[in-house]
């Protein structure tokens, strides 16, 4: 696991070479091409979406999940193909995303 600073192709390739799986944050501000792909795929219905309702301390929360597999990490070739995942927690009472 690592922050956005680790989600660059050379570090990802090094992790794979060492036999590791990884989960790295990839911010839209530093991965413009990746997020352009995600926007295209979401608009074409290719992004899988799930929502689960949970009560936590008498509060209704919605856990929203989105994912897509096999998207290019960067614009430059060759690009590592990665899986992307997002989780969001929505508080119904506050009418806002809390995570």
Q: Take residue 78 and report the two structure tokens written for it.
A: 């060759």
Average pLDDT, whole number, for the chain?
A: 97
- When pLDDT is averaged across residues 32-44 and rounded to a whole number, the result is 98
Residue 90's contacts (CB-CB under 8 Å, 6 or more residues apart) are 61, 62, 64, 96, 97, 98
pTM for this entry:
0.86
pLDDT digits (tens, 9 = 90+) for 8-33: 999 999 999 999 999 999 999 999 99
Residue 99 contacts residue 81 (beta carbons within 8 Å):
no
């Amino acid at each position: 696991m690592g922050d956005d600073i680790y989600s660059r192709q050379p570090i990802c390739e090094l992790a794979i070479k060492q036999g590791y799986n990884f989960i790295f944050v990839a911010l839209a501000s530093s991965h413009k091409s990746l997020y352009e792909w995600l926007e295209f795929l979401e608009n074409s219905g290719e992004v899988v979406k799930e929502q689960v309702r949970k009560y936590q301390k008498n509060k209704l929360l919605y856990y929203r999940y989105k994912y897509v597999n096999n998207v290019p990490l960067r614009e430059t070739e060759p690009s590592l193909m990665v899986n992307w995942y997002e989780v969001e927690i929505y508080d119904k009472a506050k009418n806002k995303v809390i995570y």
